[in-house]
Amino acid sequence: MLPQKSASLYFERVFQMLEGSEKLAIIIVEFDSPDDTVKCLGTIEEYLGSNIKLYVYDNSSQKHTILEDKLNSLSVAYEYFWNGGNLGFAKACNLGLTKVREDGFAYAMLLNNDTLLVDDSPLLALEVFERNPDIGVLGLINYYVHNPSEVWQAGKRLRKSKLGFVSVVATSDTEITFCDYVPGSSFIVRLSILETIGLLDEEYFAYYEEIDYCFRVKSSGMKVAYINDSKILHKVGASSSSAVKTYLKSRNKLYFYRSILHSRLSFIVVVSLLLVKDLLLDLLRGGSLETIKYTFLGVRDFRSGNMKLTRFS
């Protein structure tokens, strides 16, 4: 990270480069977990302060007093939107991306509400973007909340066989590491690419939408990378129930692979092997028959073209 004595001059130079446009916008989607969101907001205020503007899109079934109180006490500029129910992560993010683009921001960060900042890592993305006009999406290295020294995820690439993803390990002599996708929990977008790439695919609802978006970015000729000297803590798996997560991941895995595998035979072979692997891993980790049930419900709904999550409403 930057030496403390030079940090203010460094970011002053970055913001001078961005003159004529707003600074970084941070978009957070809340869904009935206000305690996590309040903690996340506290770290944003502590480490980023006036360098950002915050946009909170609330998918909760009702407003939460604890969140309203926290927002009212913030020294950070913010806007709050209650969606009146769960629109899905992708759609709520799209509302945010559209709004911040209209508000004149050059960059936006999609930040999970179950994350915690530990420094000003998101601001590093501003200069990286400015010096690398061919990068469309940047990510930060995610560490576990319960074990801040252990990396959960940074960036991954698709195996040549297409049988899943593997982590891309950073090298010590580079500032960024290129990859195929970065996790959606700390996903920083160059907003100008919306003009050519568009928004997140709302059919995903949640899970895999960031993977799909990164692949679309790369297909356009832009690049995806994560910042090596960055850190954020993530309370992995806090955003949805295991049943919904299992269902969405199995359904959306098929939806994503259909977009990158153009041979029907390759699609059937690859996704069959991946689904069997997922089931075996879940069972080894103590999964139940519910895991199998919701995996196959996801497969069935994909095959029937049902992408509307109606079975959980």
pLDDT of residue 166: 96
Q: Is the pLDDT of residue 148 over 60?
A: yes
> What pLDDT digit, counting tens, does each position of 97-115 carry?
999 999 999 999 999 999 9
Q: Is the pLDDT of residue 197 over 80?
A: yes
- Exposure string of 177-206, with b = 16+ CB inside 10 Å and e = fewer, is bebbbbbbbbbbbbbbbbeebebbbbbbbb
pLDDT of residue 278: 84
pLDDT band at residue 14 under the 50/70/90 scheme? very low
Q: Is the pLDDT of residue 24 over 80?
A: yes
Q: Quickly list DSSP for 233-268.
A: EE-TT-SS-HHHHHHHHHHHHHHHHHHH--SHHHHH
Enter the tokens of residue 12: 């002053």
Q: Is the pLDDT of residue 88 over 60?
A: yes
Distance CA 202, CA 115 (A): 23
Q: Is the pLDDT of residue 177 over 80?
A: yes
Q: Is the pLDDT of residue 75 over 70?
A: yes
pLDDT band at residue 238 under the 50/70/90 scheme? low
Cβ atoms of 209 and 184 closer than 8 Å:
yes
Cβ neighbours around 87 below 10 Å, total: 19
